[in-house]
Copies of this chain bind each other. A is one copy, B any other.
Amino acid sequence: MAGRLDLKHGAVDMSHGSGGRAMAQLIDQLFRKHLDNDLLARGDDQALLAPPAGRLAMSTDGHVISPLFFPGGDIGSLAVHGTVNDVAMCGARPLYLAAGFILEEGLALAELARIVESMAAACNACGVPVVTGDTKVVERGKGDGCFITTTGVGVVPEGLDISGANARPGDAILVSGHIGDHGVAIMSKRENLGFETEIHSDSQALHDLVAAMIDAVPEIHCLRDPTRGGLASTLNELAQQSGVGMQIREPTIPVRPEVAAACELLGLDALNVANEGKLVAICPADQAETLLAAMRGHPKGMDAAIIGEVFEDPHHFVQMETAFGGNRIVDWLAGEQLPRIC
């Protein structure tokens, strides 16, 4: 297959989605080159994987974030972290990823290469390879540069039972660090806010933090990453799924001052803002301090905090004691404040 891609000046055109020679070149010279591993190199219609020794976990996420590159990350690394995290949120060890690209005609190959290199770096850092992929191209004006859908599978260690349905009255609610960084980083970039200190996305893989947490407290009841809709929507999801109420305390929720200031300026509630490297954990009250210590002992959980507890409530309300001592209902995000945040 002769012909080299012009990675400096070239752009994606419709032939890169044709199933013919141009597509094969793009896959070989760009995707397989960067995402290189034995399983992907096989080049069949499917990857063949060793039989996992236990229950499988499987999760998928489309990524349509705009802009493609942002402070603290880009769509390539985000597409790895996002799916690794969803797989890990039942305690599973993520093993493999599939990646489907939908490219818009005209996307610079240099930009695509940056995205795929970043994806490859994230895969290497997590130890989770892309083992199979797909490349489609749509006409100019029918896409937006690059969408990436990643699907992950992982294996669940024996004995764990972690689910959004498992929160019980009396349980403690923890968060692994500062909330709102990702959403505010994207929005401040979009709105071109002139903050002195740039706010960075928290996009990161949490499977290693989860492994440390499970080691310390195998009885964890729930894990969830508060992505779109933020902490508020995630707590409401968990309350609904478990059929319980929740009480959280505003002053205990870690929010960076820069993020709080940006939220103020943008008219956002930090509780509704997306995170891409944080998790919520719920565990029996008598294990909460042990879990907190395990989280704080890990670099990705340094700023972890206990933020509230679960109680019985037929309405499944999430309530928050505010900084001023009042109490308010924390509702699901309504409408859409932060489009294309992930």
Contacts and interface: CB of A to CB of B under 8 A. Distances in A.
Interface in A224-247: 224-225, 227-230, 233, 237, 240-241
A224 B45 contact: yes
Contacts of A165: 42-44
Interface of A: 1, 13-15, 17-24, 42-64, 85-87, 89-90, 92, 96, 98-102, 131-139, 141-144, 147, 149, 151-154, 156, 163-165, 224-225, 227-230, 233, 237, 240-241, 272, 274, 331-340
A333 B48 contact: no
Contact of A102 (B90, B147, B153): B147
A62 B164 contact: no
B60 A100 contact: yes
A224 B43 CA distance: 12
B19 A333 contact: yes
Copies of this chain, whole number: 2
A176 B212 CA distance: 51
B149 A45 contact: no
Given A44-B89, A149-B134, A142 B144 contact: yes
Contact of A14 (B61, B87, B139, B336): B336
24 contacts: A19-B230, A19-B333, A20-B228, A20-B334, A22-B334, A42-B165, A46-B86, A46-B87, A46-B154, A47-B59, A48-B55, A49-B55, A49-B57, A49-B58, A56-B56, A58-B98, A58-B153, A60-B98, A61-B134, A138-B340, A139-B339, A147-B147, A149-B149, A153-B153
Contacts of A49: 55-58
A222 B15 CA distance: 26
Contact of A227 (B1, B19, B228): B19
B333 A20 contact: yes
Contacts of A131: 58
Nearest to A86: B45
Contacts of A1: 240, 332
Contacts of A143: 142-144
A84 to B, nearest CB: 11
B336 A15 contact: yes
Contacts of A46: 57-59, 86-87, 89-90, 92, 152, 154
Given A64-B136, A144-B138, A153 B335 contact: no
Given A23-B228, A62-B102, 12 more contacts: A18-B335, A18-B339, A20-B336, A43-B164, A47-B58, A49-B56, A49-B58, A51-B55, A60-B98, A102-B147, A138-B144, A153-B153
Q: Which 3 A-B pairs have the closest CB atoms?
A: A19-B228, A19-B229, A20-B333
Contacts of A163: 42, 44
Contacts of A85: 45
A229 B24 CA distance: 11
B147 A61 contact: no
